[in-house]
Amino acid sequence: MFHALADATRRDIVTRVLPREWSVSALAREYPMSFAAVQKHVAVLERAGLVSKRRHGREQLVRADIDAVRRASSVLDHFEAIWRSRMERFGELLAEPEKGTDP
Amino acid sequence: MTVIDIRKDPENLRMTVTAEFDAPVERVWQMWDDPRRLERWWGPPSHPATVVDHELAPGGAVTYFMTSPEGDKYHGWWRVLAVAAPRSLQFEDGFADDSGTPNPDMPVTTANVQLEPRADGGTRMSIATTFSSLEQMEQLVEMGMEEGLKAAMGQIDGLLDAA
C-alpha cells in the first residue's frame, strides 16, 4: 500500500515537472506529506535519471528529462513483448494435461 | 489464459504484468518451482532455456542459459530475496558470463511475483519487474536484450501484428 502510494506520488511529480520547472517546496504543498518526504521522492526520481535538480537562490528547482521518460517507456515496451510471450507459453504449459514431466 | 493487464510505469522504472489462469495456485507455483517447467516458458522457443541450479530459498540461486540456433549460450542468474510457497517470490535477475558467474557490470532487475487464488479455483498472478536506473535500462537496449532475444522479439512483433 505504501509502495502504491509512493509510486502514484512519483508519477504525479514527473507529470507536473514535464512541462515546466517546479520548486521542491511548491511540490511539497501539493501533497499531504512533509517537505522531507517529497524531497525523498524527488531524490529517487533523480537517481533513476528521470528528473534533474538545480539550485536557484534558496530554492531547488526540479524538471523532468522528457527524453529520459520517453526512453524508459520504450524499454518497457520491449519488456512488455518479452513478458507477453512468456505468459503465453506459461498458459499453454498449464493447459497441458497434468502428467508430471512427460514431453 | 488471459493477460488481463500490463501496466508500464516509466516514472518508477517498473512494469507489472497481471495474468489469470484456470489452474489452482499450487499448479501455477510449480511453473516457477519445477526447473523443468520453468525452462519451458522462460526462454523463447528459438532460444530454449536450460536451468542448471535451482534453489528457491532466501539467498538461493537459480542459474540458467539460453541456447541460440547457432549454439551460442547466454547465461543468466536469479538471486532469491524472499519466497513464500506457493504465494510469493522475489528475486534479482541478472546476466552472467560464459562460465555462469554473475556479471556485476550488467543490469540487474528485481522481480516480485504474487499468486492469489481466485474464488472459482483459478489463480491471479502478478509480476512486477523494476529497474534500478534508466541508465541500466538503456544498457539493456544497447545490448539488444541479448542478440537472441532481439531475434525472438522480431518473431513476437510479427505475431502481435498479425493478431
| CB spacing of B149 vs A49 below 8 angstroms | no
The whole-number pLDDT of residue B118 equals: 95
Closest Cβ opposite residue B134 in set A68, A84, A86: A68
0.85 surpassed by complex ipTM: no
Contact A73, B159 (CB under 8 A): no
Q: Which of B6, B36, B27 is nearest to B123 (CA)?
A: B27
Interface check A91 vs B, CB under 8 A: yes
Interface check B7 vs A, CB under 8 A: no
> Which grid coordinates belong to B129?
519487474
Interface check A94 vs B, CB under 8 A: yes
Classify residue A1 by burial, with Cβ atoms within 10 Å: 0-12, 13-18, 19+.
exposed
The whole-number pLDDT of residue B141 equals: 66
Contacts A71 to B, Cβ<8 Å: 134, 137-138, 141
pTM over cut 0.80: no
Q: What is the 3-state secondary structure (H, E, C) of chain B?
A: CEEEEEEEEHHHCEEEEEEEECCCHHHHHHHHHCHHHHHHHHCCCCCCEEEEEECCCCCCEEEEEEECCCCCEEEEEEEEEEEECCCEEEEEEEEECCCCCECCCCCCEEEEEEEEECCCCCEEEEEEEEECCHHHHHHHHHCCCCHHHHHHHHHHHHHHHHC
B13: left (phi over 0), alpha (psi -120 to 50) or beta: left
Interface check B66 vs A, CB under 8 A: no
| CB spacing of B145 vs A89 below 8 angstroms | no
Interface check B27 vs A, CB under 8 A: yes
The whole-number pLDDT of residue B16 equals: 93
Average predicted confidence (pLDDT) for chain B: 84
| CB spacing of A68 vs B13 below 8 angstroms | no
